[in-house]
Structure 1
């Protein structure tokens, strides 16, 4: 039975049924015999077969017409169904709770959609298909709420190292919509200096609203930054790297007059002397530069709570320890050169990290003992980076039982790490566990270093986790590139996790973030 719709009114019509052709001749008939044998037909039988073929052709043609009609009808029904779905969806949207949600709450939800810093950096700033720009394209309500929510627009990312391509008017529009500003400006000595200066000048016009500044500074931008002296009243945090071609003749002192500045990070090798800081008000510092320059800053930095000091190994000035520098509030510290600890008195110190070099004349155990005795501090976390000797490390952990969190970051010497894991492994029943008070164990492998023995890592964790006297609760295994544990080892590590051990296994950028957290370091690029 064929069916079709009227093209004008849409009424469904059906044609009268057409009798189907019998395709199963009865057994015993001459037609059945011809179909099932190879006997030749007579002339009259040939005429009959031709008539049957004609009837079959006609029926096939009619069926083809019906199939075409049904396909057209199915197409029409599917289009109608899709239209009804869209219509129903639009009507349901009328009842959506979002229409009755207060704009303040909607703004809070929008804030959760803003890309992370790394995502914003990978997109090189403005991306019209990401929040918050995308929110302005949904509807009038969402546009009004997003435009009137300044926090959505506060982070401004401009990266010339990866090729800046956003139109200047969009930056101007974002600055209009924002209130406080978190500026990420990454200059490049090889990029167009005219455009870089133009954009930095545009941002500088709003410097009274700057709260954070993440900056890679070129030599051409130095005068523009210097001109901001006395105008950075809201600035709280600076993370800066310099890529000067020539050292500026005059010191850069614009941050000296920033009354709210409490966090300052500087990575710029040998040109540190060109920048002056309000050291007396800093609570967090990351300084990379000459030994004497960092010492001079610390003499006034009595409010420091957390610090990372990268001491330049090529500093030609003699290492004069002289009078001790007291840092009464310092709780977390990393130094690239442990000799620098000879200069400090840190009564509040709880967490310490330093780089261990192969230097027979440097007695790390004595250095730590002297620092702790002098400061009367109670060290709880220790992180060793580089080539830590297993025996010395074990002795340190035994001598200072207040240390309950220990991390090691290996750069090249795998054997020492493997030896350390063997030392820390719990012995057979009846033996003595080294430093049973350790609650957290952190093992990281930096880029370029050889993989550690992951089976030994598993054995160490398993033995301590199962020991009666061990207080192990947390563990981390980090590797910044490839060569992680194989599948069988990973499965066994996951067994420990299911048994209750808080275990993190991270690689790549996530591992690097965790390592940076243990070293109290944030680079200008986050």
Structure 2
């Protein structure tokens, strides 16, 4: 019995068939003892001893029932998948460092021998190397544990996130330098996300550049001063022949200026590009002209005016998703570039000139999100309707930050006998930035009249399952409709979210 208790109660090992029968018999014996002790308790004048024995029997029953738990019979592969599901989130959602012994995955290897064996033989559990720094953390200095963290993930690809936190923390570049110096890291890292200041990365540029054999995703969140060429030097240092996705975000602790990116960077190999940096319009055009294989592009600090010198019209034949945020006067980009296969467009529709719509290719769009910043009334809505009239293939439509008065007056005075035909529209989202005096008009009939006007201007035969439904009017003047989704539309929404399309609309 002692050997059975040592083997099963002190480990998470599953019992054998013979041991399982013995455990069941033990539980029956303890349950019988509990019944006997209950009858003895009623006939004794000093029941303390009986109570203690009964409590011990109940605790033993609970302990031995744990041994028979179905969890112990899970195959090691399934247990490893559970570990991965619980531990491996997105890179930026982690709040603990990978080298913290109090947190997974290291913590899981300290529970018992079984869990340690499962953890060390589950490569995906160790594939995320996340290092978070702050003033509250002790100085790490050299980190001999790095190789021990990398080895269990073999041969799985590595994702690495290094956040220096407070820019006065000096250990972050040490971690990065030591990681790059490990051949196994450079050969297997697939995603690299660096959130640092320029002085943290400056010493790195004096070392021989590493050879990244499988680096596909690079994200740089950099705080820079007056170092226009620094980002370009970092790109050159971290260059990889397999790089496909690049995100650059720069914050400035001095006066903002236009940075300079690497002139000879292989932009043609990128399929995803997100830029949140201050660039001159001419350099942005030069970069996009080289991105001949680009499929998704996000521009979050687009220059307000087009380049002074003339550029020939350029076609980006592979671009499918384009997100433009930050400025109203973005139409100049459509004067220079053509996007024949664009399917998702998310942009700020400011005070666009009418002639801009003539060069904006929208016939292939299936998903459209417009952020309307104009203060006009019917003129602003008329611009939106003209934009939609060129997009007959749209399946999902999102209109953000519309002014309530402009919406109502625009719908009222717009000709109802010439609606915008959107025969494929399935998803409609409208958010109102400000109602003003229009709130009383909307609430008068519960919003049904406004809903009917929207339907009549979009399509006369808009299906009821896809029509917008009046939801709620907040005290702060924010109003939105959410669609009455049919089952097929719900499935399509789930697919869009799974494919990452809806994440652009967060």
Q: 2:400 aligns with which of 409, 414, 432?
A: 409
| Secondary structure, aligned partner of 2:87 | coil
Change (3 A) 1:465 1:503: farther
Please state if 1:234 is matched with 2:176: no
Return closer, same or farther for 1:296/1:140 CA change in 2, 3 Å cut-off. Answer: same
Does residue 260 of the first structure (1) align with residue 242 of the second (2)? Answer: yes
Q: Which of the numbers 306, 309, 314 marks the counterpart of 2:296?
A: 306
For 1:387, the equivalent position in structure 2 comes to 373
Matches of 1:418 and 1:500, distance apart in 2: 34
SS of aligned partner of 1:191: coil
Measure how far apart 1:469 and its partner are. Answer: 1.1
Matches within 5 A, 1:78-227: 78-90=55-67, 92-93=68-69, 96=70, 98-99=72-73, 101=75, 103-117=76-90, 120-123=93-96, 125=98, 128=101, 130-160=103-133, 164=137, 168-179=143-154, 180-188=157-165, 190-193=167-170, 195-205=171-181, 206-220=185-199, 221-224=201-204, 227=207
Please list every run of 5 or more consecutive structure 2 residues that lacks an aligned counterpart in the other structure.
Answer: 1-36, 252-256, 375-379
- Residue in 1 that maps onto 2:272: 284
SS of alignment partner, residue 190 of structure 2: strand
- Once the two structures are TM-superposed, the CA of residue 432 in structure 1 deviates from its matched residue by 7.1
Inter-partner Cα distance in structure 1 for 2:135 and 2:274: 25
Please state whether the residue corresponding to 2:282 is helix, strand or coil. helix
Relative distance call for 1:444 and 1:98 in structure 2 (3 A) is farther
Give the corresponding residue for 2:333.
340
Distance 1:145 1:462 in 2: 60
Q: Deviations over 1:289-333 (max 9, x none)?
A: 322221111121100011012344478x94445201221111111
Distance 1:239 1:164, change over 3 A: farther
The answer to whether 1:367 aligns with 2:356 is: yes
Residue 518 (1) aligns with residue 497 (2): no
Alpha-carbon spacing, 1:319–1:493, altered in 2? closer, same or farther (3 Å): closer
Offset at residue 355 of structure 1 (A): 1.6
What are the Cα deviations for residues 153-192 of structure 1, in whole angstroms up to 9, with x where unaligned? 1112223368555954555532232342211112356322
- When structure 1 is superposed on structure 2, of 127-136 and 301-310 the one drifting more is 127-136
Aligned match of 1:397 = 388
| Aligned twin of 2:16 | none
* TM-score of the pair, normalised by structure 2: 0.69
CA distance in 2, matches of 1:71, 1:451: 74
Q: How many residues align?
A: 424
Match of 1:74 in 2: 51
Gaps of at least 5 residues in structure 1 are: 1-9, 18-65, 478-482, 520-526
Would you say the 8 A contact 1:287–1:309 is kept in 2? yes
Cα distance between partner residues in 2 of 1:278 and 1:232? 15
CA contact (8 A) 1:394 1:424 kept: no
Distance 1:190 1:378, change over 3 A: closer
CA contact under 8 A between 2:341 and 2:364: conserved in structure 1? yes
Is 114-123 or 377-386 further displaced after alignment? 114-123
Give deviations 1:230-269, integer Å, cap 9, x for gaps: 5122110111122123416664143674111011111226
Cα pair 1:186 1:217 within 8 Å, conserved: yes
Q: Answer whether contact 2:465 2:485 (CA < 8 A) is retained.
A: no
Post-superposition offset of 1:134:
3.5
CA distance in 1, matches of 2:296, 2:321: 5
Report the Cα distance in structure 1 between the residues aligned to 2:116 and 2:178, rounded to whole angstroms.
25
What's the TM-score, normalizing by structure 1?
A: 0.66
Q: What SS is found at the alignment partner of 2:221?
A: strand
For residues 398 and 105 of structure 1, what CA distance do their matches in structure 2 show? 52
Q: Is the 8 A contact 2:393 2:422 kept in 1?
A: no
Return the structure number with greater relative CO, CA threshold 8 A, min gap 6.
Answer: 1
Pairwise CA RMSD: 4.5
SS in 2 for 1:268: strand
CA 1:156–1:393 in structure 2 vs 1: closer, same or farther (change >3 Å)? same
Structure 1: distance between partners of 2:97 and 2:452: 45
Q: Distance in 2 between matches of 1:495 and 1:346?
A: 29
Q: Identify which range, 146-155 or 221-230, moves more after superposition.
A: 221-230
Give the conservation status (yes or no) of the 8 Å contact 1:213–1:238: yes
Residue 439 of structure 1: how far off its partner (Å): 1.6
Q: How does 1:38-57 map to 2 (within 5 A)?
A: none
SS in 1 for 2:292: coil
1:126–1:152 Cα change, 3 Å: same
